[in-house]
Amino acid sequence: MRTGAARAMQPGSAVLLCPTIRPGDVEDFAARLQQRGILTIDAPMSGGPARARDGSMSLMVACADGVFEPHRGLIEAMSSNVFRISSRPGDGARTKLVNNILAGINLVGAAEAMAMAARMGLDLGTTLMVIERSSGQSWIGSDRLRRAIAGDVEPRAHMTLLQKDTRLAVQAARDANFEGPLGAAARDVFARAVECGMGALDDGALFKLLFDSGATDAASAAASSGK
């Protein structure tokens, strides 16, 4: 704060925070900026590179109405999907982490299901088509796994992003005295993928991770049972 942009900003100006970070950090930044008379707009984004280009990313805005209204034009120019979350900076970050933990859970589930289908000898394209038109469908599963089963793991969304976001989401849940059964499990899968050297790959590479590790685990189980 002593050497950053805030030092050069005038009282009454605003900082727009769009990254996915800890809600507590947003609150800390907002408090420190307020001491300088600078306003904070907590506005994380979701939607990926394609939606960023066409201006349709979800923008989750938390700030007082008196801060939002003077900057409405800029905010609405950035995105056609603006959600007013609350007047409290930090709630935008909380909403983004709730979204991203579900995205992480859905992606791990989709990768596991497709790895299972591959081990069963099913045609993966047909299986994914069935899922897309049935109760197992998820947007992130379709988006990532269609590329992954074709062997395309060039990063559109680096594995490290959901590795970070699921970790932050689980911690935010614990800060709110909540612990669910799936969030930590998804976090651990992304952590394992990064530990296995997949950090720079698309997060759809979870398909390969779970296909390979599922085969290893099955072989180990068979060996330990004497089969």
Residue with tokens 């989750």: 60
Both tokens of 30, joined, read 């907002």
Tell me how far apart the alpha carbons of residues 149 and 125 are, in angstroms, rounded to a whole number.
8
| Count of CB atoms situated within 10 Å of the CB of 160 | 17
Angle subtended at Cα 189 by Cα 187 and Cα 193, rounded to the nearest 5 degrees: 115
Label residue 5 exposed, middle or buried (CB < 10 Å: 0-12, 13-18, 19+): exposed
| 90: β partners | none
Contact by Cβ (8 Å): 172, 97: yes
**227 is known as an active-site residue:** no
Q: Which one of 96, 164, 208, 227 is the catalytic residue? A: 96
Tell me how far apart the alpha carbons of residues 210 and 202 are, in angstroms, rounded to a whole number.
14
Residues acting as catalytic residues: 96
